[in-house]
């Protein structure tokens, strides 16, 4: 089996992302859940699988009933883009909430001191 | 001595760029017999805090940056809790609510009939523009559909909470979706609530303010409500 540079790059990046996911989960970082870890493994693991075994898309296409494997790739691409947007919006939401909390603490610091 | 005399009732007024009306609102609340008034200036670019401070001193707080009506209301409620409030009433800073209605709003809590009272404009919509009535009905439907509790005015800012309810209600929303999140919390914690008709005073001033809940903001609020559920 001939390995291309892009396959090595995707495998390395994906492995790193999965490793970070495990690290975050084990260290119990804020907001880390089993579900998030699973999603991370499925997304990045799926990318490794497709990169190393491109014919996997044929199996996927026939399993979900699509004619050509290009459709499966486009669909996977859409899912990945959706997940990325979802993650970005979640991060913005978390930042907004942190900002509100900091603003609130600053506003109420005087009465908190007295309390 | 009655429970009313013993209870510490705090009136929370979130305000954004309301320097021309805030003193009138505070004076009306004081005339209605309430001394514990907390104003949260939500990062206004005018002198809202200074104007409020002339009447209530240190109880005029200021957000350094604008966080939205929900964020300011939550800060006000936190302040009231820290100051030992037994009952917390929230009222809009643009003067659309009549402080004389506060007595009606707090009565069920004083009588220990419920933990939350929602002032509803739609049981008494006199003076309310038709489009606003329609928009509020739409807001009520969305709130019921997403959060599972039907109320007649899900977007009203005129509400009262017992100390217990204020401790339980935990919202994340900073903008106008805050009002609907409170409804979700009432449902979630199975809090007893009552709806009381309140008067509404839509003036040229309050209708002209660009930051008020308009058509586009309404959809933003809906999007935020849905996002809050899936994120």
Beta carbons within 10 angstroms of residue B48's beta carbon: 26
| A96: contact with B, CB 8 A cutoff | yes
Span A30-89, pLDDT tens digits: 566 777 788 888 888 988 888 888 888 777 777 777 666 676 677 778 878 877 887 888
Closest partner residue to B75 (CB to CB) among A90, A99, A107 is A107
Q: Look at residue B178 and tell me if it is in a domain.
A: no
Q: Which of A62-66, B121-125, B205-209 has the lowest mean pLDDT?
A: B205-209
Residue B17 inside a domain? The answer is: yes
Q: Is residue B217 part of a domain?
A: no
**A residues 26-65 lying closer than 8 A (beta carbon) to B:** none
Spatial distance between the Cα atoms of B65 and B48, rounded to a whole number of angstroms: 14
Q: B-chain residues within 8 Å CB-CB of A96? A: 174
Q: Which residue of A has its CA nearest to B72?
A: A104
Please report whether residue B42 resides in a domain: yes
Backbone CA torsion sign across B81, B228, B61, B41: negative
Domain ranges, ordered by start, for chain A: 1-54, 73-115
Neighbouring CB atoms inside 10 A of A99's CB total 14
* Structural domain for B16, as ranges: 3-127+155-173+191-209
Confidence of residue B210 (pLDDT cuts 50, 70, 90): very low
Q: How far, in Å, are A15, A16, A103, B230 from residue A89 at the CA level?
A: 24, 23, 21, 11
Closest Cα in chain A to B67: A100
CB < 8 Å to A106, chain B: 64
Dihedral sign for Cα A26, A34, A32, A42, please. positive
Give how far Cα B29 sits from Cα of A77, A84, B7, B124, B229, Å. 58, 49, 17, 21, 36
DSSP code string of B126-190:
TT--HHHHHHHHHHHHHHHHHHS---S-TT---EEEEHHHHHH------STTHHHHHHHHHHHTT
Nearest CB neighbour to A93, from listed B67, B71, B231: B231
pLDDT in tens, B17-62: 999 999 999 999 999 999 999 999 999 999 999 999 999 999 999 9
The distance of B83 to chain A (nearest Cα, Å) reads 8
Q: Examine residue B40 and state whether it is found in any structural domain, yes or no.
A: yes
The tokens of A113 are what?
């001191």
Cα dihedral across residues B17, B139, B195, B83: positive or negative: negative
pLDDT for the residue numbered B212: 55
Domain total in chain B: 1
Average pLDDT over residues B99-114: 94
Q: Which of B36, B44, B61 to mutate to test the interface with A (most CBs of A within 10 A)?
A: B61
Selected residue with higher pLDDT from B111 and B211? B111
Looking at the domain assignment, is residue B136 inside a domain?
A: no
The CATH number for B48's domain is 3.90.550.10
Q: In this structure, what token pair is assigned to residue B129? A: 């523009």
Handedness of CA B186, B132, B41, B85 (dihedral sign): negative
Mean pLDDT to the nearest integer, B59-82: 95
Nearest Cα residue to A46 out of A71, A8, A18: A18
Give B1's pLDDT tier (boundaries 50, 70, 90): very low
């Amino acid at each position: 089996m001939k390995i291309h540079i892009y396959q090595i790059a995707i495998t390395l990046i994906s492995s790193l992302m999965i490793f970070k996911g495990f690290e975050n989960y084990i260290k119990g970082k804020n907001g880390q859940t089993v579900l998030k870890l699973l999603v991370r493994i499925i997304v990045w693991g799926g990318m490794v699988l497709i990169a190393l075994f491109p014919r996997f898309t044929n199996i996927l296409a026939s399993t979900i009933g699509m004619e050509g494997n290009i459709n499966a790739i486009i669909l996977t691409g859409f899912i990945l883009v959706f997940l990325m947007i979802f993650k970005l919006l979640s991060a913005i939401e978390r930042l907004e909430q942190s900002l509100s909390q900091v603003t609130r603490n600053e506003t109420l610091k005087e009465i908190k001191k007295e309390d | 001595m009655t429970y009313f005399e013993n209870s510490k009732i705090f009136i929370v007024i979130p305000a954004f760029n309301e320097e021309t009306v805030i003193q009138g609102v505070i004076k009306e609340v004081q005339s209605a017999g309430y001394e514990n008034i907390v104003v949260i200036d939500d990062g206004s670019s005018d002198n809202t805090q200074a104007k409020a401070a002339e009447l209530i001193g240190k109880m005029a707080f200021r957000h350094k940056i604008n966080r939205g009506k929900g964020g300011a209301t939550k800060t006000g409620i936190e302040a009231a809790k820290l100051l030992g409030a037994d009952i917390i009433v929230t009222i809009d800073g643009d003067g659309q609510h009549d402080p004389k209605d506060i007595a009606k709003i707090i009565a069920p809590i004083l009588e220990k009939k419920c933990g939350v009272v929602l002032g509803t404009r739609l049981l008494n919509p006199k003076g309310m523009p038709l489009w606003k009535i329609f928009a509020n009905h739409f807001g009520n439907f969305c709130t019921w559909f997403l959060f599972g509790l039907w109320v007649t005015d899900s977007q009203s800012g005129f509400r009262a909470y017992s100390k217990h309810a204020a401790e339980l209600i935990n919202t994340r929303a900073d903008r106008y979706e805050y009002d609907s999140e409170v409804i979700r919390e009432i449902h979630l914690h199975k809090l007893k609530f009552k709806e009381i008709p309140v008067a509404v005073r839509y003036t040229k001033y309050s209708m002209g303010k660009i930051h008020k809940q308009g058509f586009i903001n309404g959809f933003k609020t809906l999007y935020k409500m849905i996002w809050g559920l899936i994120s």
